[in-house]
A = this chain, B = another copy of it.
Amino acid sequence: MRPSGRQTNEMREISIETGVTMHAEGSCLIKCGNTHVLCTATIDERVPPFLKNSGLGWVTAEYGMLPRATNTRMRREAKNGQSGRTQEIQRLIGRSLRAGVDRVALGERQIVVDCDVIQADGGTRCASITGGWVALKLAVQKLMKAGDVISDPLIDPVAAISCGIYAGQEVLDLDYLEDSEAGVDGNFVMTAGKLIEVQMSAEGSTYTRAQMDALLDLAEKGVAELTAAQLAAVS
């Protein structure tokens, strides 16, 4: 029934390659099927002004898409400024990653996570969160190795997956074809078996609490698989 022939509760193949750029303190290329996102983490010893002398660290994220990451070429954001969609996504990534960080343990420094979509086939914001956590973890490992951070501020991985109602059925990990047809879809960010963020939208449609529960069940399954891949990548 799904265009890809996948089962309703079947994820796309996941791969996470680390150390893909020579300059960044942490980096990975995450592939969720045909969605490929390059994530880098940059350590900055200065924090934003509102945290000066607070002793607390900060994690923030920026998101971008190469113009031809998509089927039709998009206008380059450097020429037009960031769209509302882009800003919404990068706020979500930053908020999600921060929920999994012990900001006291990180110490008064900032880590900037850049998520740049090289190729898009649905689920780019979820892949950015999942890959972003890996880049972040690698940068933190570097800080710990150098003795700049003593107690690990990142215990449990943060991962995200999309689910939706496609052709009347609840399905896990929507690709672009499904996403563009789905009347209802959601993004679920989780860590250590708990929720960080749920965003479920209907476009020109509605959904019941029972449907929402079914999607949450799928999301839990998906996040478990992503978490395993994350842990394998950083160890």
Q: Please list the residues of chain A having a beta carbon within 8 angstroms of any beta carbon in chain B.
A: 21-24, 27, 34, 38, 40, 42, 44, 62, 64, 66-71, 73, 76-79, 81-82, 84-88, 90-91, 95, 98-99, 101, 103, 112, 114, 116, 118-121, 186, 191-192, 194-209, 212, 216
Provide the bound-state CA to CA distance between A206 and B14, in Å.
Answer: 25
Q: In the bound complex, do residue B73 and residue A42 qualify as a contact, i.e. CB atoms below 8 Å apart?
A: yes
Residues of B contacting A27 in the complex (Cβ-Cβ under 8 angstroms): 68
Q: Which residue of B lies closest to A80 (CB)?
A: B78
Task: Assess A21 versus B119: contact at CB under 8 Å? Given A87-B88, A88-B87.
Answer: yes
The one of B64, B70, B82, B99 in contact with A203, judged by C-beta atoms closer than 8 angstroms, is B99
Q: In the bound complex, do residue B198 and residue A199 qualify as a contact, i.e. CB atoms below 8 Å apart?
A: yes
Provide the bound-state CA to CA distance between A184 and B21, in Å.
Answer: 29
A20 to nearest B CB, angstroms?
9
Q: Which residue of B lies closest to A24 (CB)?
A: B68
Copies of the polypeptide in the assembly: 6
Residues of B contacting A206 in the complex (Cβ-Cβ under 8 angstroms): 99, 191-192, 194-196
Q: In the bound complex, do residue A88 and residue B99 qualify as a contact, i.e. CB atoms below 8 Å apart?
A: no
Q: In the bound complex, do residue B99 and residue A69 qualify as a contact, i.e. CB atoms below 8 Å apart?
A: no
A150 to nearest B CB, angstroms?
20
Provide the bound-state CA to CA distance between A202 and B96, in Å.
Answer: 8
Q: Which residue of B lies closest to A197 (CB)?
A: B201
The one of B38, B44, B68, B79 in contact with A23, judged by C-beta atoms closer than 8 angstroms, is B68
The one of B21, B95, B199 in contact with A68, judged by C-beta atoms closer than 8 angstroms, is B21
A112 to nearest B CB, angstroms?
6
Q: Which residue of B lies closest to A205 (CB)?
A: B99
